[in-house]
Amino acid sequence: MIQSQEGTIINIVSIAGKMGLPNSAVYSASKFAVSGFAEALLEEVREYNIRVSCIYPGRVHTELFGRKNSFSGKIENYIQPNDIAEAALLCASGTQTAAFKEIVVRPRRPVR
């Protein structure tokens, strides 16, 4: 990317990288670390026209919930994987003069 003088690095973090979650201290800390890494990396590579973005999704309907039997509520109330893909496409399509540093993706309806 440095040789090409362009590129986009997209980090899929978690809403836990923006706010600490109860009973998830280690998980939240690891997500805050990714945010800090991305922030520092952005400063290191922005002179090379490389974008660094973070996407912070809330609850996404993935196999993780199925394996833990913690999936509750209506599937349509969860963020879908394709919603995150759309956010990534938005990050990758930044203009020559602007970039999407952070995108927070939350369910439209509360997940209960």
Residues annotated catalytic, as ranges: 27
String of b and e for 58-75 (b: at least 16 CB within 10 Å)?
A: bbbbeeebeeeeebeeee
In 3D, which of 95, 1, 102, 105 has the Cα closest to residue 54?
Answer: 102
Q: What is the CA radius of gyration of the chain?
A: 16
Strands 7-12 and 102-105: unpaired
